[in-house]
C-alpha cells in the first residue's frame, strides 16, 4: 500500500528507485592509555592523518568545482585548525592514542559550538564529517560513505556531508532524502548545483528498509513509499512535461504577456560562471565574495588577488548586470581577522556590514579592488552590503563606496525585518534592494536556518515572510528603484511567479534552477501572478499559501 511522507523539497525533479542507505558513522575509538615514550609517534600519526584528510578534501573540491569547492576548502581549513591540532597533541601527551585524542578534541569543540545556541549547526555537521575522516584514517578502516552499487538508487542518509554530496554520480544516485538539514544547508545547495532531486528534513527517513521502492519529488518534498503503477506514471508524465517545457524555454525571463523579470545567477566565484552562462543567466544577482576570503581565515586576500578574481566574473557578462555582495562574514562564516571569537550568539552579533564597518580597511580594499576590476569593462556593476538594519547602515555603506571612488550602483540587502519595514527610509541612501530570503526568514521567525527541527519556519511560503517581501517591493516601486530576490525562494518556480506578483523586479538563483523558473514564468501573465500573490498572502500557513497560489495559477 502506498504511503506518502513529506519533508522539504530542495532540488527540483523526480527520482524513482530503490533505497540504499549511507554507511554508518565511524565507531568511537577505545579509550586506552599509551606509554609516555609513544607520545611523539602518536602525535606524528595524528598530524599525518590531518594533512591527508585536508589534502583529500581539497582534491575533492577541485574535482567538484563551483560552490562545492569553496565549501570543501573551508572544511580542509577546519581540519588544519591550529587550536584543534594543539588540543589533539596535548591529549596525546597525557596518554591518549591519536584516534582517541582526535575524537575527544573534536567532541570538545563541538560542545563549544552547541553551547553557543546551535547557531553554528551547519559548521557542526561539517566538523563531524572531518572528525570521522581523520579517525577512520587513523583506525585504518574505510570512511563510511556513498554505497557501492551497479544499479541506480535513491540515497537515504541522516545528513550528507559536503565531501559526499559534491562528488555524487547523478547517473547512479537518482536522488536523495535526508532526515536532517534544511533548504539552505550545504547538501541542499550542492544538490541543486548537481541537478539531483532531493528532499531534506524528513523525520523517519532512516527507517526505510534497504531495497524499498520510493518516488522522490524534489519540488513538493513528497516521498511516496511503494508507489503504485498509476502514481509512477503520473510522476513520470509530470517530469516529462517539465523537461519538454525546459527544452522549449529560452531567452530573457518574462511572463506570458511580456512583463520582463531578469533571471540572474548566484555565484561564488569564476568556477560557477560556465554553468550560469549555459543556463542563460542574464547576469549575476549575487556574487558571494566570502569564498575568496575563506581561503585564509587569518588575513584578507590582497587587493591584487581580489581584482583578478572579480575581473574574471565581470568579463563573463559584457553589458550584463553583476551584483556583488561585499564580504559577509560572521555567524557560520567566522574569520579570525574580522569576527569576534567569543560572541554568545553570533547570528545576532557583529556580522556582515557590522564587521566591515568595524574594519574599514578591509571594506576599503574590497571596494577599491572592485572599482579597478571593472575599469574598461561595459558591465553594469552593482555592489551591495549584507545585513543592513536601517538608514544609518545604508548611509555608512554608501559613503564608503563613494570614498573608494566606486563607479557603481550601491544597494542594501534586506535580511533583517527592520530593513523591510523601513525600506523607503533605507532607499533614501541606496539605489536598489536585494532580498536575502534565507536570513530574512531566520530573523523573522527566530528559526536558525541550519537546524532541521525548525525548518518549517524556514519555508519561504510563510505568509508573514511574503508580507515583508511585499513591503520592500512596494517601497522600491514607490521610489522608482529596483528590488530583487537572491535568496533560495527565487529558485522555486511557483514561488517565483508569486514574487513577481508581489512586485519583485528580478530573481537570482543557482544556475540549475534558471530553466525551471524561466519556463514557469512564461506560462502566466503578470495579472495571474498578482492574483496568486494575493491569494498566498491571504493564507495562514505556508502549506495553505502554496496551495492557494497553485489553485489560482491552475485555474481552480
Active site residues per annotation: 186, 486
Helix ranges (H only) for 200-289 are 229-248, 273-278
User: Which of 452, 515, 518 lies closest to 195 in space, CA to CA?
Assistant: 515
Q: What is the DSSP letter of 551?
A: H
Which residue spans within 321-414 are E strands per DSSP? Answer: 321-325, 380-385, 409-414
Measured between alpha carbons, how far is 330 from 349 in angstroms, rounded to an integer?
Answer: 8
Non-local (6+) Cβ contacts of 57 within 8 A are: 72, 73, 75, 76, 79, 130, 133, 163
Consecutive H or E run containing 222:
strand 222-225
Three-state SS sequence of 464-519: HHHHHHHHHHHHHHHCCCEEEECCHHHHCHHHHHHHHHHCCCEEEECHHHHHHHHH
Q: What is the end-to-end Cα distance of the chain in Å, rounded? A: 29
SS3 (DSSP) at 412:
strand
What are the two backbone dihedrals, phi and then psi, of residue 379, each rounded to the nearest 5 degrees? -65, 150
User: 244-260 burial by CB neighbour count: b if 16+ within 10 A, else e?
Assistant: ebbeebeeebbbeeeee
Q: Across the strands, what pairs with 412? A: 385, 433
C-alpha cell of residue 553: 495559477
Whether the Cβ atoms of residue 251 and residue 54 lie closer than 8 Å to each other = no
SS3 (DSSP) at 37:
helix
Q: Across the strands, what pairs with 8? A: 200
Length of the chain: 556
User: Which of 25, 4, 22, 72 lies closest to 177 in space, CA to CA?
Assistant: 22
Amino acid at each position: 500500500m502506498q504511503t506518502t511522507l513529506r519533508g522539504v523539497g530542495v532540488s527540483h525533479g523526480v527520482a524513482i528507485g530503490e533505497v540504499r542507505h549511507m554507511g554508518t558513522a565511524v565507531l568511537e575509538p577505545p579509550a586506552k592509555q599509551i606509554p609516555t615514550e609513544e607520545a611523539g609517534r602518536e602525535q606524528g600519526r595524528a598530524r599525518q592523518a590531518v594533512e591527508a584528510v585536508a589534502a583529500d578534501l581539497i582534491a575533492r573540491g577541485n574535482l567538484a568545482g563551483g560552490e562545492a569547492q569553496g565549501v570543501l576548502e573551508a572544511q580542509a581549513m577546519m581540519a588544519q585548525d591550529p587550536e584543534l591540532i594543539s588540543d589533539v597533541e596535548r591529549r596525546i601527551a597525557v596518554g591518549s592514542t591519536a584516534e582517541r585524542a582526535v575524537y575527544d578534541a573534536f567532541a570538545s569543540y563541538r560542545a563549544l559550538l552547541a553551547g553557543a545556541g546551535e547557531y553554528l549547526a551547519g559548521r557542526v555537521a561539517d566538523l563531524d564529517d572531518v572528525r570521522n575522516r581523520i579517525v577512520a584514517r587513523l583506525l585504518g578502516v574505510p570512511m563510511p560513505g556513498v554505497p557501492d552499487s551497479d544499479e541506480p538508487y535513491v540515497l537515504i542518509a541522516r545528513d550528507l556531508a559536503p565531501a559526499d554530496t559534491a562528488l555524487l554520480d547523478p547517473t547512479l544516485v537518482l536522488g536523495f532524502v535526508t532526515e536532517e538539514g534544511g533548504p539552505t544547508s550545504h547538501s541542499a545547495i550542492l544538490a541543486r548545483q548537481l541537478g539531483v532531486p532531493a528532499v531534506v528534513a524528513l523525520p523517519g527517513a532512516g527507517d526505510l528498509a534497504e531495497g524499498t521502492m520510493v518516488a522522490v519529488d524534489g519540488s513538493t518534498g513528497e516521498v511516496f513509499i511503494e508507489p503504485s503503477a498509476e502514481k509512477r506514471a503520473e510522476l513520470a508524465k509530470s517530469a516529462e512535461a517539465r523537461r519538454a517545457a525546459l527544452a522549449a524555454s529560452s531567452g530573457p525571463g518574462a511572463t506570458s504577456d511580456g512583463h520582463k523579470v531578469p533571471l540572474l545567477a548566484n555565484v561564488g566565484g569564476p568556477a560557477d560562471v560556465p554553468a550560469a552562462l549555459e543556463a542563460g543567466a542574464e547576469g549575476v544577482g549575487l556574487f558571494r565574495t566570502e569564498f575568496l576570503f575563506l581561503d585564509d581565515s587569518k588575513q584578507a586576500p590582497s587587493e591584487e588577488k581580489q581584482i583578478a578574481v572579480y575581473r574574471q566574473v565581470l568579463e563573463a557578462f559584457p553589458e550584463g548586470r553583476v551584483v556583488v555582495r561585499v564580504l559577509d562574514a560572521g555567524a557560520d562564516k567566522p574569520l579570525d581577522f574580522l569576527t569576534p571569537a567569543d560572541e554568545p550568539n553570533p547570528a545576532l552579533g557583529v556580522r556582515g556590514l557590522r564587521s566591515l564597518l568595524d574594519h574599514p580597511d578591509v571594506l576599503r580594499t574590497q571596494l577599491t579592488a572592485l572599482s579597478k576590476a571593472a575599469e574598461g569593462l561595459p558591465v553594469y556593476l552593482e555592489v551591495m552590503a549584507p545585513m543592513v538594519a536601517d538608514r544609518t547602515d545604508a548611509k555608512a555603506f554608501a559613503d564608503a563606496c563613494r570614498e573608494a571612488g566606486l563607479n557603481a550602483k550601491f544597494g542594501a540587502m534586506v535580511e533583517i525585518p527592520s530593513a523591510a519595514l523601513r525600506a523607503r527610509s533605507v532607499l533614501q541612501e541606496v539605489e536598489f534592494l536585494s532580498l536575502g530570503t534565507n536570513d530574512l526568514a531566520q530573523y523573522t521567525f527566530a528559526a536558525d536556518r541550519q537546524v532541521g527541527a525548525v525548518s518549517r519556519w524556514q519555508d519561504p511560503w510563510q505568509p508573514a515572510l511574503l508580507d515583508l517581501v511585499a513591503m520592500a517591493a512596494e517601497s522600491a516601486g514607490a521610489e522608482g528603484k529596483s528590488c530583487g530576490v537572491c535568496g533560495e525562494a527565487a529558485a522555486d518556480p511557483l514561488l517565483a511567479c508569486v514574487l513577481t506578483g508581489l512586485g519583485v523586479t528580478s530573481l537570482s538563483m543557482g544556475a540549475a534552477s534558471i530553466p525551471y523558473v524561466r519556463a514557469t514564468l512564461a506560462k502566466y501573465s503578470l495579472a495571474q501572478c498578482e492574483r496568486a500573490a494575493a491569494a498566498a498572502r491571504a493564507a495562514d500557513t505556508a502549506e495553505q499559501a502554496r496551495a492557494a497560489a497553485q489553485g489560482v495559477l491552475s485555474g481552480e
